[in-house]
């Protein structure tokens, strides 16, 4: 009786089982499938040795018991090859579908097992060679061949969808198995098929299932890959869970105190690991993500973590904790991470405290993303429109210019309020595409319509702060206007004040190139917020537009009246033109006209008009 080879294989598998059970694992579905493979192959090896032992002592044991053990062993060969097929298709279908397929295969295996138990089996033992044969054995060979072929076919046909390492491991395992079976067929004394199975499981472990691969080696918690896989499973199983993200901003001034980032993160992890209900992950950035079935345990953990650094102001001020009590409401991990980024960027002032992002915040986030999607669709479907608000020249007593204002028309024909989509477009960067689309439509309008013959000398086009910060702004605008062959003097570009010095430098460089090309500029919203008079001095603008609120305050506050009068005198002395925005009544028109404002804009004459309505307005007022 020679079972040394089987014992070697069994030792390998036992060591793997001990190693796996010594680690805390995420209990991922794929891990469970691997455990199924591992225990199936281990059972097969044990039965392989038991069959040899029972055959050796068959003269003193009941024959039915010997046959039962021998059949049980060869049945596990079918289960082992089928487990390889079950394992390989985990990458090919969703978890729910994989569970259904697995149940079907297990039912089929049970039927095949009953068939093997019914069929006859015979034992050959001449002292040097021991093996079984008969109908039961031949049927097992057939089923094993079918499952092997199916496994190799799946690995080959779906190789582009399959994890490359999983595909390689499975193919290598099958090849080792086939070679071992061929050797054992040629030399029945070499019972190495079981050992080949153990080698296959070892290959799977080394290449794919080593729990160390899911750990961040420096911090000892789970890594970003494990986080993605764990979240994927939670969403696939529609489980309820909560998420706590702890971000450490190492750029916050340390106040002269020295600290090690990894040491701080490790301290946080130690606190979180006090509870076995919490799963701690390290993301690629300097943040930890902790997942638990309920928000209360995460809230308690965040309080403990923040209390650990209560005496270290520089560390506490660099820590942001965001608790998402209902993380399961998102569609997937990417959606969750986008939400966390949204909350983090919008609430940077909450350092050192716990911010709970409840359903109200989620609803706000979803509304924003609906607008973001609406903007993208409007750009793709050309539902971005330009409305024009006439601007009256007090010197010429006619409408000499207009401001181009962006509008988005929804698919049902309604207009989306600019106040809803412009802030979001600026935050997402979509304002760049919107700005260029408006500029292009204005150029086309000036080129193809009769607007110039109706007295319009130029159209004002707003430039967002985001556009002004782009170094290639001038090249883009010059390129677009060049396509339509119109004079750049027909367009006046409106800018708003920016606080960033670097952005101001970039803007000045762009303004110089555009002015040299023939464009003019106006400063919009003067008098709004923290307007800086030096901005008027530094910026090469030819027009200054008084903000709506300042214009309104002129008629309510003597101080505001003095400010407006001073601005008018200053601007005219500098050779600048002034526009009064937001004029709505006879009193406001008369007041601004008496103060010497050069242009009047507002609902007093007209609200922003569509292209066709604007042309009709000019015809009726020419």
Q: How far apart are CA 492 and CA 509, in angstroms?
A: 17
Residue 529 is predicted with a pLDDT of: 59
The ranges of the chain annotated as CATH 1.20.1070 are: 4-213
The H or E element containing residue 492 is: strand 491-495
The ranges of the chain annotated as CATH 3.20.20.450 are: 368-616
Q: How far apart are CA 554 and CA 612, in angstroms?
A: 34
Q: How far apart are CA 608 and CA 478, in angstroms?
A: 26
Phi, psi of 233, rounded to the nearest 5 degrees: -70, -40
Q: How far apart are CA 393 and CA 391, in angstroms?
A: 7
Output the CA angle 109-166-36, nearest 5 degrees: 35
Q: What is the pTM of this model?
A: 0.68
Q: Rg of the Cα trace of the chain?
A: 37
Q: How far apart are CA 282 and CA 534, in angstroms?
A: 47
Residue 191 is predicted with a pLDDT of: 75
CATH 3.30.70.270 fits 224-357, yes or no: yes
CATH 3.40.50.10490 fits 368-616, yes or no: no
Phi, psi of 557, rounded to the nearest 5 degrees: -125, 125
Fold topology of 4-213: Rhopdopsin 7-helix transmembrane proteins (1.20.1070)
Q: How far apart are CA 152 and CA 101, in angstroms?
A: 17
Strands 520-526 and 543-546, by their bridges, are parallel
Q: How far apart are CA 224 and CA 207, in angstroms?
A: 18
Residue 1 is predicted with a pLDDT of: 46
Residue 247 is predicted with a pLDDT of: 85
Residue 571 and residue 599 in contact, taking contact as beta carbons nearer than 8 Å: no
Q: How far apart are CA 489 and CA 485, in angstroms?
A: 12
Nearest to 20 by CA among 204, 217, 173: 204
Residue 328 and residue 362 in contact, taking contact as beta carbons nearer than 8 Å: no
Residue 502 is predicted with a pLDDT of: 66
DSSP, collapsed to helix, strand or coil, labels residue 194 as helix
Residue 86: half-sphere exposure toward Cβ, Cα within 13 Å? 28
- Percent of the chain that is helix, strand, coil (3-state, to 5): 60, 15, 25
Nearest to 587 by CA among 599, 604, 606: 604
The ranges of the chain annotated as CATH 3.30.70.270 are: 224-357
Ordered mean pLDDT values, 10 residues apiece, the chain (622 residues): 80 92 86 94 93 89 92 94 93 90 96 96 78 90 93 89 86 89 77 86 89 86 92 91 86 56 84 88 87 92 82 70 93 91 73 84 88 94 96 95 95 89 88 95 96 95 89 93 95 81 82 95 80 76 91 91 91 93 94 94 95 95 81
Residue 535 is predicted with a pLDDT of: 76
């Amino acid at each position: 009786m020679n079972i040394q080879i089987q014992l070697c294989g069994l030792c390998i598998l036992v060591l793997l089982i001990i190693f796996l059970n010594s680690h805390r694992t995420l209990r991922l579905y794929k891990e469970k499938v691997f455990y199924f493979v591992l225990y199936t192959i281990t059972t097969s090896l044990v039965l392989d040795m038991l069959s040899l032992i029972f055959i050796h002592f068959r003269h003193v044991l009941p024959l039915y018991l010997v046959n039962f053990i021998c059949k049980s062993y060869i049945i596990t060969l079918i289960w082992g090859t089928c487990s390889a097929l079950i394992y390989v298709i985990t990458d090919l279908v969703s978890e729910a579908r994989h569970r259904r397929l697995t149940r079907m295969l297990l039912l089929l295996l049970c039927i095949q097992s009953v068939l093997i138990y019914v069929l006859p089996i015979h034992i050959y033992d001449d002292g040097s060679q021991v093996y079984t044969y008969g109908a039961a054995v031949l049927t097992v060979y057939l089923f094993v061949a079918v499952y092997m072929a199916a496994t190799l076919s799946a690995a080959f046909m779906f190789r582009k969808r399959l994890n490359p390492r999983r595909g390689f491991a499975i193919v290598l395992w099958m090849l080792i198995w086939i070679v071992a079976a061929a050797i054992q067929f040629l030399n029945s004394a070499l019972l190495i098929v079981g050992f080949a199975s153990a080698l296959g499981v070892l290959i799977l472990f080394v290449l794919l299932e080593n729990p160390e691969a899911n750990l961040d080696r420096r911090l000892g918690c789970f890594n970003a890959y494990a986080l993605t896989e764990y979240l994927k499973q939670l969403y696939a199983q529609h489980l309820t869970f909560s998420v706590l993200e702890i971000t450490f901003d190492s750029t916050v001034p340390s106040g002269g105190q020295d600290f090690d980032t990894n040491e701080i993160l490790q301290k946080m992890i130690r606190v979180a690991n006090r509870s076995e209900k919490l799963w701690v992950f390290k993301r690629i950035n300097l943040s930890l993500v902790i997942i638990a079935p309920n928000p209360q345990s995460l809230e308690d953990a965040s309080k403990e973590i923040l209390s650990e650094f209560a005496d270290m102001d520089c560390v506490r001020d660099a820590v942001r904790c965001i608790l998402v009590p209902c993380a399961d409401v998102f569609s997937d991990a990417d959606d969750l991470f986008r939400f966390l980024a949204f909350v983090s960027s919008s609430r940077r002032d909450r350092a050192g405290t716990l911010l709970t992002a409840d359903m109200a915040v989620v609803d706000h986030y979803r509304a924003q993303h609906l607008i973001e999607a609406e903007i993208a669709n409007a750009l793709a479907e050309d539902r971005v429109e330009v409305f024009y608000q006439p601007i009256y020249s007090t010197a010429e007593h006619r409408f000499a210019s207009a401001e181009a204002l962006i509008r988005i028309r929804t698919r049902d024909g309604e207009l989306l309020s600019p106040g809803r989509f412009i802030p979001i477009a600026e935050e997402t960067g979509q304002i760049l595409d919107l700005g260029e689309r408006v500029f292009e439509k204005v150029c086309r309008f000036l080129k193809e319509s009769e607007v110039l013959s109706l007295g319009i000398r130029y159209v004002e086009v707003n430039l967002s702060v985001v556009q002004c910060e782009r170094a290639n702004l001038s090249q883009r605008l010059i390129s677009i206007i060049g396509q339509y062959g119109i004079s750049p003097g027909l367009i006046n570009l409106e800018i708003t004040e920016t606080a960033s010095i670097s952005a101001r430098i970039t803007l000045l460089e762009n303004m110089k190139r555009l002015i040299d090309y023939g464009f003019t500029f106006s400063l919009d919203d003067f008098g709004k917020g923290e307007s800086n008079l030096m901005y008027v001095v530094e910026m090469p603008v030819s027009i200054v537009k008084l903000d709506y609120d300042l214009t309104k305050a002129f008629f309510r506050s003597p101080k505001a009246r003095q400010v407006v009068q001073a601005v008018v005198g200053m601007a005219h002395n500098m050779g600048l033109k002034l526009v009064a925005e937001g004029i709505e009544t006879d009193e406001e028109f008369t007041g601004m006209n008496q103060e010497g404002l050069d242009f009047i804009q507002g609902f007093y004459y007209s609200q922003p008009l569509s292209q066709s309505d604007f042309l009709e307005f000019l015809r009726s007022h020419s």
